[in-house]
Structure 1
């Protein structure tokens, strides 16, 4: 019995599993750095293991507002070094990516999905969702006020049709954004 107790005590404890959620402080820390946001954005878009060199080129292109083909060696090296030494190890520690430093391979982790709700990356040619829905709400209120004020075209509609138009507007915009974001 004594040997059973000794073997149970001498065994190493099981490795702790990664947290299922990202702590709020870690989330803010990661999102507080532009380079990390670019990494998260790239990995959310591609959802596959990526080499450090490829990731560094894409991040450098975004930072310098240029194409990947136009990134200079100095720009790529600067980003590569900071990703390898600082950003990716920190992101791996939090559980957002799996960073294999030996192979230079970055794999998106399950925790990356937690950033979808917190990261509203808007490209230069698009409008934030909040602005779109605010405009739709304003249009809906204008239609309602026009109906109440008995504006000729709007007052001829029944409230059922007016509600249907508003619902159709919101459904159309939500569907377009859903298809675009896939």
Structure 2
């Protein structure tokens, strides 16, 4: 479903949080379905620059909860992703692909992220 054009201010708002920038970047780069677990691991990898096994489980749980309840539903509401809550699977849409130039510019400006953000 391709809806009306997303305003640039909305794109900026989506990119205010670094975790959401990481999710958007990895989905745009991978161009395939990813699980919430994949996305959580990617956020942890970019935030800590340490092996996943060394990161406290409580932090991983907090990130997974925020993805499940806030970040992914917000992206789904704008039709940037399709979200299967039961399988916890997130799939980028063509609408996300249309935003890739703006997202790329914003992500490139983030000194904490090195594009491409990958799994």
TM range (shorter): 0.7 to 0.9
Q: Deviations over 1:20-63 (max 9, x none)?
A: 53222321211122111000111122111111111111112212
Could you state the TM-score of these two structures normalised by the residue count of structure 1? 0.53
How many equivalent pairs are there?
112
Q: Which gives a bigger RCO, structure 1 or 2 (Cα 8 Å, sep 6+)? A: 2
Whether 1:40 aligns to 2:24 is yes
Which consecutive unaligned segments of at least 5 residues does structure 2 have?
Answer: none
Residues 97 and 107, structure 1, Cα contact 8 Å, conserved in 2: yes
Distance (Å, rounded) in 2 between the aligned partners of 1:58 and 1:42: 8
- Dislocated runs of 4+, deviation >4 Å: 122-126
User: What stretches of structure 1 of length at least 5 have no aligned partner?
Assistant: 1-16, 129-179
Q: Which has the higher helix share?
A: 1
What SS is found at the alignment partner of 2:101? Answer: coil
Q: Which has the larger radius of gyration?
A: 1
The answer to whether the 8 A contact 2:75-2:81 is kept is: yes
